[in-house]
């Protein structure tokens, strides 16, 4: 097609497509390309509706950057890049193919079909869009919720509201999340962590459901086509994904809820040599990916066919530019880095002691108030929980918290000491290098693995629907089915399962560190025993909102637990507890460990019980309290705990939580809770938990109010 628009030299910075007063500037890095052309496509993208601008390297190349400025373009036009390079043997690692139209790595928006619709082959279309001209944020600013006060709620944008029971006008979309904001506020969480929202191809899954023959989908989306562009299929109006994403962020911020993105910088959708070429491979393969220096095979630390060359300066810049864009232009509050240990590998795949990109993320001034969370392992066996980075800003998914809680609550003996360490903030992992309890993201379940309901209902994974003959998924879930595999009508087993769910919730929400819940766990969502539902765009993965009504007692329990945490700073400490010593009397200790008898914790190899007293040593202002928590990890026997002195003058103990009781008796308001005498014995059911809270006696409370009033007047 004949070129109709005047062009000029353009600028090598910034990369991507940028609207300027003089026109639209296009810039692309490619060190090894010998020729480059910008491909422009009209709305009906086909060969006859495209034209190419061939770039003269003498005019349109500065260093390794190809660039051009176009005076103006019609609305809705698409673009891509065509590159050609040395025709060298595969051993060079180069992969140029001038028959392909490549995605711009810096494209902020891609044209893509609605969810589940077939796509044209990679490299066959112009898909990149010119960025929009702005957005009215209406004064929106970051919430900057202190990380120790954060409660994270992990959710899948589509799965959260796509089920008909959600009763959303815009199911499966960013607008669907907006519709559920009242629910999120009532639950009490402070941040949503969105599973991948950058563009991916959900139709690239090669597996089929063996029962129906239906092709499965890449539902989770951990296979990025772009590090920037929000997924258009998550927008109710797929022509405006940027606007709808921003609307969602703005609405969540108004409700006091932060937005954390689960981002994937460890690999891309291009896979290995047999995968599709859509962008990075065709632009500069040995720059963007880790390749074996001898065979030029892809180093596969991600388990997905390729590994991004994260510590190469060019890739580092891409990652940093993407993070800054999400924070500056999209107002995102934080990031969870998938398989983050890959960020710590050099260009040969070796583990670095001080990885440049990890340090850059932590020290970047634009990201200074942004929450940064590492999944501190990768698919090649590198496990760095507690050692991902010494930098105080890096938090980590604490896999050891997950595993120790699961072991204790499946009846494994000898876990009392390990569980105590996790409850106290995992000082063994984070204190040695000056980090704090809030560097630990505590979780029991995540998108990857069993739901909380399935954790207490299945011994084995049930992944046949994934089409891999049950070979996929973790074989070491540390679950226990409570006496029967899968669904059961046995009321005793049902009671035990619910008791275990609530007891684990108490541990999660009342431990030091930052708790993370998975959407639906609060009302009993099940995946029918599937512990690797990455390919299940079905009721296996979707939230069935009818469960919120069916299991409203369980939902109430979670709501009240989250509020208890919010209302009492003793559960949200910024620093670790001071280590007990002979010269520190019990009255000055903030946490005291107990067993069935006061002051006698059982750390033996056969122990399956734990109790602890949390004491608020802040000068008494009448707003906080002490707590005594009793946990029974026995699978079949109740345990009696002797109640210790509360450590708080002029107060009494009241039983606010008993996970063995039915709702609403399982969580009682302090004012109506049963009083428990010091020295009395409290029965804790198998796999149960009981929590006592101090209440200041009325006469003492009256004196306190009088004293506070006098202080205020003075």
Whether the Cβ atoms of residue 47 and residue 126 lie closer than 8 Å to each other: no
Cα separation, 682 vs 660, in Å, equals 12
Among 629, 631, 616, CA closest to 696: 616
End-to-end CA distance of the chain: 84
Among 396, 316, 309, 391, CA closest to 357: 316
Cα-Cα-Cα-Cα torsion 366, 372, 376, 377, nearest 10 degrees, comes to -70
Query: What are the φ and ψ backbone dihedral angles of 664, each rounded to 5 degrees?
Result: -95, 5
Whether the Cβ atoms of residue 691 and residue 605 lie closer than 8 Å to each other: no
Among 107, 370, 158, CA closest to 259: 370
% helix / strand / coil in the chain, to the nearest 5?
Answer: 25, 20, 55
Cα separation, 104 vs 83, in Å, equals 12
Other Cβ atoms closer than 10 A to 119:
14
Helices (H) and strands (E) in the chain, counts: 16, 25
Whether the Cβ atoms of residue 409 and residue 687 lie closer than 8 Å to each other: yes
Cα separation, 184 vs 548, in Å, equals 13
Write out the catalytic residue numbers: 338, 375
Cα separation, 95 vs 102, in Å, equals 12
SS3 667: strand
Cα separation, 450 vs 529, in Å, equals 7
Other Cβ atoms closer than 10 A to 614:
24
* Residue burial 72-109, b: 16+ Cβ < 10 Å; e: rest: ebeeebbbbbbbebeeeeeebbbbbeeebbbbbbbbbb
DSSP run (H or E) holding 19: strand 16-20
Cα separation, 250 vs 345, in Å, equals 36
Whether the Cβ atoms of residue 174 and residue 235 lie closer than 8 Å to each other: yes
Among 353, 427, 413, CA closest to 388: 353
SS3 502: helix
DSSP run (H or E) holding 541: none
For the packed helices 491-510 and 416-423, what is the interaxial angle rounded to 10 degrees? 50
Helices within 32-126 (DSSP H only): 57-60
Other Cβ atoms closer than 10 A to 393:
18
Cα separation, 325 vs 525, in Å, equals 35
Among 61, 72, 77, 81, CA closest to 16: 81
* Residue burial 333-351, b: 16+ Cβ < 10 Å; e: rest: bbbbbbbbbbbbbebebee
DSSP run (H or E) holding 641: strand 639-642
Cα separation, 657 vs 673, in Å, equals 9
């Amino acid at each position: 097609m004949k070129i109709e628009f005047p062009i000029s030299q353009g600028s090598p910075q910034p990369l991507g497509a940028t609207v300027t007063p003089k026109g639209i500037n296009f810039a692309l890095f490619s060190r090894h390309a010998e020729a480059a052309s910008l491909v422009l496509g009209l709305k009906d993208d086909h060969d006859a509706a495209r034209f190419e601008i061939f770039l003269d390297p003498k005019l349109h190349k500065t260093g390794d950057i190809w660039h051009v400025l176009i005076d103006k373009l019609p609305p809705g036009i698409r673009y891509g890049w065509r590159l050609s390079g040395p025709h060298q043997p595969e051993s060079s690692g180069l992969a140029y193919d001038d028959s392909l139209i490549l995605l711009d790595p810096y494209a902020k928006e891609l044209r893509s079909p609605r969810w589940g619709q077939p796509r044209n082959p990679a490299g066959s279309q112009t898909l990149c869009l010119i960025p929009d001209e702005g957005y009215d944020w209406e004064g929106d600013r970051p919430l900057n919720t202190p990380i120790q006060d954060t409660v994270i709620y992990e959710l899948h944008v589509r799965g959260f509201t796509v089920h008909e029971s959600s009763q959303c006008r815009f199911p499966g979309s960013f607008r669907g999340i907006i519709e559920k904001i009242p629910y999120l506020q009532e639950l009490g969480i402070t941040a949503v962590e969105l599973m991948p929202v950058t563009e991916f191809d959900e139709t690239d899954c090669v597996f089929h459901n063996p029962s129906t023959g239906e092709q499965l989908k890449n539902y989770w989306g951990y296979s990025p086509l772009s590090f920037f562009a929000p997924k258009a299929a998550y927008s109710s109006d797929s022509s405006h994904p940027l606007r709808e994403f921003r609307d969602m962020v703005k609405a969540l911020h108004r409700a006091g809820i932060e937005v954390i993105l689960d981002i994937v910088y460890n690999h891309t959708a291009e896979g290995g040599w047999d995968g599709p070429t859509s962008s990075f491979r065709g632009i500069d393969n040995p720059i963007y990916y880790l390749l074996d220096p001898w065979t030029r095979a892809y180093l596969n630390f991600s388990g997905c066919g390729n590994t991004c060359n994260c510590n190469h300066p060019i890739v580092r810049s891409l990652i940093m530019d993407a993070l800054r864009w999400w924070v500056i232009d999209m107002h995102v509050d934080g990031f969870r880095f998938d398989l983050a240990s890959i960020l710590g590998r050099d260009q040969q795949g070796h583990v670095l002691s001080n990885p440049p990109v990890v340090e850059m993320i932590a020290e970047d001034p634009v990201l200074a108030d942004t929450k940064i969370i590492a999944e501190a392992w990768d698919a090649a066996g590198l496990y760095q929980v507690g050692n991902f980075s010494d930098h105080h800003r890096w938090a980590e998914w604490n896999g050891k918290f997950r595993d120790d809680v699961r072991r204790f609550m499946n009846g494994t003996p000898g876990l009392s000491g390990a569980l105590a360490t996790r409850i106290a903030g995992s000082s063994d992992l984070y204190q040695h290098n000056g980090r704090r309890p809030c560097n630990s993201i505590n979780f029991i379940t995540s998108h990857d693995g069993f739901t909380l309901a399935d954790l207490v209902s299945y011994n084995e994974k049930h992944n046949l629907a994934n089409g891999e003959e049950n070979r996929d998924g973790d074989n070491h879930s540390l679950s226990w089915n409570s006496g029967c595999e899968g669904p059961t009508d046995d009321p005793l087993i049902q009671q035990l399962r619910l008791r275990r769910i609530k007891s684990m919730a108490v541990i999660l929400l009342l431990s030091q560190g930052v708790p993370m819940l998975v959407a639906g766990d609060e009302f009993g969502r099940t995946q029918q025993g599937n512990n690797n539902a990455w390919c299940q765009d079905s009721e296996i993965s979707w939230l069935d909102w009818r469960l919120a009504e069916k299991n409203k007692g369980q939902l109430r329990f979670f709501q009240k637990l989250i509020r208890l945490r919010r209302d009492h700073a003793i559960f949200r400490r910024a620093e670790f507890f001071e280590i007990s010593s002979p010269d520190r009397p019990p009255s000055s200790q903030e946490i005291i460990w107990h067993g069935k008898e006061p002051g006698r914790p059982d750390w033996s190899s056969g122990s399956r019980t734990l109790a602890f007293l949390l004491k608020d040593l802040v000068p008494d202002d009448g707003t906080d309290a002490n707590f005594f928590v009793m946990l029974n990890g026995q699978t079949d026997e109740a345990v009696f705990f002797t109640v210790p002195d509360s450590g708080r003058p002029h107060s009494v103990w009241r039983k606010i939580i008993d996970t063995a009781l039915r709702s609403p008796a399982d969580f009682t308001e302090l004012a109506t809770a049963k009083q428990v005498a010091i020295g009395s014995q409290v029965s804790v059911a198998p796999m149960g938990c009981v929590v006592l809270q101090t209440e200041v006696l009325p006469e003492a409370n009256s004196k306190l109010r009088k004293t506070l009033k006098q202080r205020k007047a003075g």
